[in-house]
Structure 1
């Protein structure tokens, strides 16, 4: 049965595409880029300006400052995450949980078309059917027996896994008082315990690989801030972030050839949060899945360990909890963090084609 995706009404205006992320990106590729910065004194020199002229000295000082910042940033990245591993897509076996639609499916289809062997684990059939290079396995990651069974099938069909992308997630979207115990257990089993089950199952394959492997963890800024009607989801994402960092510390000593990628996005435009409106499209724009997918794919392709946070505010979210409690309370009210879920629809928007399909779940 065919499905379509209709976004909820948005408060778009003519300047909606203009966000702080776009402004920063333009600045980083122009005025704050070393190459552009050094062009300025060269242009002055082309006009026969003397080296000791004030505009020349200022432009040289600025270019030198920007260059040092870029060098320090590269050194910081190397110290934090080490050297990249060698990646050969024809030899990679990539396991993606929750990859039947949304962000997971984007990553799966890209790697399938590029020659990697991709295994998608999901409780639902793939939205567009199995693509070239992508094999679907019906699996509920909250069930450790199913995960263990599917791991054996993947090794038999595709070979030992070398990349694990923990992407599966669900959102209940209710107040804790309104949630049943079974809903809490289901949420935590999928969003948190599922990571433990897949890591315990697939990590031994990665440690045995001569080329090492890559583990990608999908977390969320909600794990740092919390939010009304997301107590279960926030608790799980906070746990996932802590799990990733702890595991990275362990593997750095025992298996340094394994690369760790932590992804901490803000609100992503997928049916997982269907109906939720961003409180400020300029400061907190909704992230498109394709943009997150591009960052994940680049990290895997280059064999990097890294931390991916987008949009811009997600990179500084750790500082939120450093603020005085009163300031945090004011910031939450101004940002509308605890009001966003009031318009939440989520997977309740899934209907049959006869009734008018709204979305296909994330």
Structure 2
């Protein structure tokens, strides 16, 4: 899906601009760190009649065995953590996406709509592309319990009982706490956190009654772990969202083990929600394209997996930050520039300037 939004201001482009640690790791994972490729090397040595006792052969076989062991342990780790997948038949699934009128939510909705799934999008904004094949739009404020209950009944009537819920709606006021008004704080927490409780309470009865199981996807953020200047409300709500997801996963594992839980913890996404935000380090913390996140989310849903998705690379290891000595944390934080990233923030209002009125930080797709 081509974006209709202008790109945010960036530093001067150069030939190495696309280069990031994520790209390097991806290349290595499909080459030297892949078991199949690792075993090709000793096979090539054998094709040259090299003896098993020769040093190059011993080193290559040792490396291949090590990579195979790591890969096997990874498979076992995922199986122990997430269990067996459920069977997913897209022709039988009814997917509900909050904040699906634009950005990541709309991208996922359009992909599933084109693949023949039944998709319901909930948003207070009109759909960015007007309409999408296989996607039904419902104007709904997810912070309004009565609206949610009414829309849920309408979805069941129009499309069938929901089997997949993707909690994706979010807003970013992007102001210092002293500049936030109490209504702005209420609206931010309601949209980013309380709405998750409301949608879960509304749709869980449908999800738990599905004989083939169900899937719940929660879109959180690394900011919920790190925090950042001018994001007090957003960081607090995202921390709550992650805690809610993990606690609910523990509950449902006991009462409804056929429900799959997917927690998505991305860094900065290239969506209107964060328009104007500058990534502190394009190499270590590259801006994530929505299509890349969508691929991982769709893969987890399609395969019926429980999953924890972190993008870019540092997002998968960010929990270790809190293990560091507090002084070292302060140094890393200052060097990263995370607390200066919101300096150029204009949000969705800046993108829509001159097109359409609206309050800065309106409910949008993450």
1:5 aligns with 2:5: yes
CA distance in 2, matches of 1:314, 1:48: 45
Partner of 2:68: 67
Residue of structure 2 equivalent to 1:229: 230
Deviations 1:219-252 (A, max 9, x none): 0000000000000000000000000000000111
Q: Secondary structure at the match of 2:169?
A: coil
1:135-284 counterparts in 2 under 5 A? 135-284=136-285
- 1:256-296 CA deviation, whole Å, 9 max, x = no partner? 00000000000000010100011110000000000000100
User: 4+ residue runs of structure 1 moved beyond 6 angstroms?
Assistant: none
Partner of 1:352: 354
Shift of 1:131: 1.1
TM-score by length of 1: 0.97
For 1:305 and 1:314, the matched residues in 2 are separated by 18
Question: SS at the partner of 2:338?
Answer: coil
The corresponding residue for 1:125 is 126
**How many Å apart are 1:352 and its aligned residue?**
3.4
Residue deviations 1:105-161 (CA, integer Å, cap 9, x gap): 000000011111100000011011121110000011111111111100000000000
In the TM superposition, residue 171 of structure 1 has moved relative to its aligned partner by 0.3
Alpha-carbon distance change, 354 to 174 in structure 1, aligned in 2, over 3 angstroms? closer
- Root-mean-square deviation (CA), in Å? 1.5
Specify the SS of the correspondent of 1:215.
strand
Secondary structure in 1 aligned to 2:277? coil
What secondary structure does 2:339 align onto? coil
Gaps of 5+ in 2: none
Residue in 2 that maps onto 1:30: 31
Query: 3-state DSSP class of the match of 2:91?
Result: helix
1:59 and 1:8 map into 2 onto residues whose CA distance is 46
| Shift of residue 354, structure 1, vs aligned partner | 9.1
C-alpha separation in 2, matches of 1:222 and 1:4: 26
* Compared CA separation, residues 154 and 354, structure 1 to 2 (3 A): closer
Q: Secondary structure at the match of 2:69?
A: helix
Equivalent pairs counted in the alignment come to 357
Cα separation, 2, equivalents of 1:282 and 1:253: 42
Q: Distance in 1 between matches of 2:108 and 2:355?
A: 27
Deviation per CA, 1:88-108, whole angstroms, max 9, x where unpaired? 000000000000000000000
Q: Report the Cα offset of residue 351 of structure 1.
A: 2.3
Distance in 1 between residues matched to 2:34 and 2:356, nearest whole Å: 54
- SS of residue matched to 2:230: coil
SS in 2 for 1:216: strand
* Secondary structure at 1:338 match in 2: helix
Q: Distance in 2 between matches of 1:348 and 1:98?
A: 16
Structure 1: how far apart are the matches of 2:137 and 2:250? 32
**Structure 2 SS opposite 1:211:** coil
1:65 and 1:192 mapped to 2: Cα distance? Answer: 43
Change (3 A) 1:50 1:348: same
